[in-house]
Amino acid sequence: MSTGTDTAAPYRSPLRAGRDGFARLLRAEWTKFRTVRGWVLAMGAAALVTVLLGVLLATGMRTVCSNGPVEIRCPALPTGPGGEAVDDKFYFVYRQLTGDGSITARVTSMAGQIRLPDAVPGVRNVVPGVVPWAKAGVMVKESGEQGSPYAAVMVTGEHGVRMQHDFTHDTAGRPGKVSERSPRWLRLTRTGETLTGYESADGVTWAAVGTVRLAGLPDTVRIGMFAASPGHLTVTQGGISGSSSAMRFAEVTAVFDRVGLEGTAPAGAWSRQDVGVTLGPDGLPHHPGGLVESGGTFTVTGVGDIAPRLGDAVVETPLTGVAIGLIAVIVVAVTFMTAEYRRGLIRTTLLASPRRGRVPAAKAVVIGAAAFAAGLVAAGVTVPLGTRLLREGGTPVLPVSALTELRVIVGCAAMFAATAVFALALGALFRRGVAAVAAAVVMIILPHILATASVLPVDAAQWLLRVTPAAAFAILQSVPEYPQVIHHYAPAAGFYPLAPWAGLAVLCGYAVLALGLAVFLLRRRDA
Amino acid sequence: MRGQTHAEWTKLRTGTGAGPLLLAVVALTAAVSAAAAAAATCPAAGCSHDVPRLGLIGVQAGQAVVAALAVLAMGGEYGTGMIRTTLTAMPRRGAVLAAKAIVLTGVTLVAGTVAVLASVLAARLILPGNGFTPESGHPPLSLADGPTLRAAAGSVLYLVLIALFSLGVAAAVRDTVTAAGVVLGVLYLSPILVRLVQDPDAQRFLYRISPMDAGLTVQATTGLADLPLGPWAGLGVLAAWTAAALLAGGLLLRLRDA
């Protein structure tokens, strides 16, 4: 034996110390998720339900158009220089201009007629009037083709003088309506690819409205006067789907005089084109425009609009079933947490990982990743397949850039993930599955349904989609609002009050907050 | 039967959860209705809102809590194993389900009535300030008005039917969370489906058979002629769903081992 001064070495287990790294915890939670067949199946069902509802919708939608008395496949929508679908329908009185030049004209009057909802069923109720965005003015356009580049300076029904180009761009000039007593002089000059718009009240002092560059503008272009009037929008509350909107015929007639054209243009009469006019069932042009010319005064009548097109199916249309897929995600995520409490597994879990805050974090990573994968599959299949089926059925779908389509798909996956994390956190907070499921559905799904398919007025619907987690549905909106286009900008029509990523951020904020609270309570409470 | 009902009442009364959930039914329904009323405006030119229906919109939120309550009343017993004690004490399984249905009907009637009255009161107080005045064609919401009374009473019955429907589903599914997911999925699927289809005939058909859309028709007071079915017929559709769910739940309860 050794001497008395020796101390015995303390006992050390020969076993290697277990590692309690976060990666280990993740692996443990992943194993828990993976080995419960019901959860994996339900997560798959979430994706499947979304895809099936999308396919059901897309195959059920059939659209036919008519050209005169014959039914035809709907023609492809014209697209503008930016790739977006456009309305390009107006009456154009023009000449071919080669090289630089300018056009000047005075607008002395804007009048028109609007069709209102029938007061007596079956009797057309047409009243005199001009819609706010009826437009008339001078334009330079590349060709007679719908969707070709253009720049124009114009007077409008209620938004004063504007300079617009290439469908999506709009610059404001002087406000005020045009009349005999207060006419507007308009001028558009072309120098190479640069176009500058001017306006004047008296034809003497001119103010520039804007300067734009139309890249690739050919040497010979069309220059002249135009008139166009978008339809009159009426929104009615009630009916099966909450509210419905209708666009009714409106036309505008503008009077131009003191027309001056500078530059190299052929002499003789002005050419005219009713751009984009369609044939009615009787084989005649449907709502044609027109020109009456007498002694230097041009009276131009036009119907239609020169603007980005809205109101058709969009790439996110087949994703309408997402809300139901999300309910399945909520059920799985909640159970992933509450099952620990029901089976008493939480005590084992916390024994193995005494740093409690890490447990909900690891669970959130696992369930978030699983839901993200499910959402990615769901949207990645539904969006391309659904839009293809829609187009095959003759339904035009508003085209968007590949980047926007990718944002819709990845955004949908992110919404699945954030929903799962939020539901998981609610499960940890309530510790009772049913209450957590009800709370998650009431906060994420219900506001969306109330806002898009109920009697809720539009302002209340927009408020709901700003403050509740349902704001995340904004990530699916592919076509933006345009201030220069009147449309039924309501959640029911697919327009959300928040920008896409801002909407998703609201849901993520709720999820992070709930998860933080769950961590806090898990550390405070007895398990 | 009295014994069974008494036993179920004791369970509901003494178990945790029922009280807070009933309070939540009232609070959520009234709060959502009041918020909708506060956010809605009627311009001086008049508006086409269905005001009683707007004032009762909270029912669409409250029903989720009612479903949770009903699901817990049945499925909770499976979670804890209590169901075995229950069935030992009361071997007539159909009677157990009936007793639960009676108790649930009672508490939902009370909570639903309070919730609906609170919603109507909130709408009556808030809406006139937002332009819903007699001059714009909207007198204050009053239960003395026939259609409004029908909408309010129908909403209470709607909540009761939702409770019984959820009870039936829970008896069939047995797992509380799954049952809650199934009930809420079935309820909230229909408004989405109705929007999904374009064909007007298919749309009206889906509206007619969907539990939530058809059931809530009982709240409609304007444009009744345009709706695919009448108010009471709509509630009848929900009643049919409820009867089917209870029948399926009751049969499975009798046939299966607990």
Give the pLDDT confidence of A258-279 residue by residue, as tens digits: 999 988 888 888 999 998 888 8
Q: Which chain B residues touch A321 with a CB distance below 8 Å?
A: 192, 196
What mean pLDDT is reported for chain B?
Answer: 85
Q: Could you say which residues from 476 to 515 on chain A have a Cβ atom under 8 Å away from some Cβ of chain B?
A: none
- Identify the pLDDT of residue A419: 96
Least Cα separation, residue B127 to chain A (angstroms): 13
Residue A374 has pLDDT above 90, yes or no: yes
Q: Which chain A residues touch B223 with a CB distance below 8 Å?
A: 238-239
Residue B161 has pLDDT above 50, yes or no: yes
The residue extents of the domains of chain B are 2-41+49-255
Average pLDDT over residues A413-436: 93
Per-residue confidence at A1, pLDDT binned at 50, 70, 90?
very low
Identity of the amino acid at A91: Y
CA atoms within a 13 Å half-sphere pointing along the CA-CB vector of A210: 18
Nearest CB to B57; choose among A238, A320, A456: A456
- CB-based contact A454 B64, cutoff 8 Å: no
Report which of A194, A193, A225, A219 is spatially closest to residue A104, judged by C-alpha positions.
A225
Higher pLDDT residue, B168 or A118?
B168
- CB-based contact A442 B28, cutoff 8 Å: yes
H-type alpha helices, B90-225: 93-126, 146-173, 176-196, 200-209, 211-216
Buried b (16+ CB within 10 A) or exposed e, A421-446: bbbbbbbbbbbbbbbbbbbbbbbbbb
Lowest mean pLDDT among A302-306, B194-198, B209-213: B194-198
Report which of B233, B107, B84, B91 is spatially closest to residue B164, judged by C-alpha positions.
B107
If you average pLDDT over each of A120-124, A303-307, B42-46, which comes out highest? A303-307
Residue A376 has pLDDT above 70, yes or no: yes
- Identify the pLDDT of residue A239: 61
Q: For residue range A334-361, what is the model confidence (pLDDT) as tens digits?
A: 999 988 888 788 888 888 887 888 889 9
Report which of A162, A165, A189, A205 is spatially closest to residue A103, judged by C-alpha positions.
A189
Q: Which chain A residues touch B17 with a CB distance below 8 Å?
A: 432, 435
Residue A503 has pLDDT above 80, yes or no: yes
Identity of the amino acid at A463: W
Provide ipTM, 2 decimals. 0.87
- Identify the pLDDT of residue A139: 94
Higher pLDDT residue, A58 or A502?
A502
Q: Which chain B residues touch A433 with a CB distance below 8 Å?
A: 176-177, 180
Structure tokens at B181: 């997911």
Q: What number of residues does chain B have?
A: 258
Residue A145 burial (CB count, 10 A): 11
- CB-based contact A240 B192, cutoff 8 Å: no
Residue position matching structure tokens 């904004």: A474
- CB-based contact B177 A437, cutoff 8 Å: yes
Average pLDDT over residues A228-232: 91
- Identify the pLDDT of residue A20: 66
- CB-based contact A324 B189, cutoff 8 Å: yes
Nearest CB to B64; choose among A237, A324, A446: A446
Residue A467 has pLDDT above 70, yes or no: yes
Which chain A residue is nearest to residue B207, measuring alpha carbons? Answer: A240
Q: Are A219 and A99 in contact (CB under 8 A)?
A: yes
Q: Are B110 and B184 in contact (CB under 8 A)?
A: no
Which helix (H) or strand (E) segment is A201 a member of? none
Q: Are B58 and B28 in contact (CB under 8 A)?
A: yes
Name the fold adopted by A86-308: Jelly Rolls (2.60.120)
CA distance B211 to B242: 9
Helix, strand, or coil (residue A266): coil
Which chain A residue is nearest to residue B81, measuring alpha carbons? Answer: A342
Residue from A312, A434, A437 to probe the interface with B (highest B Cβ count within 10 Å): A434
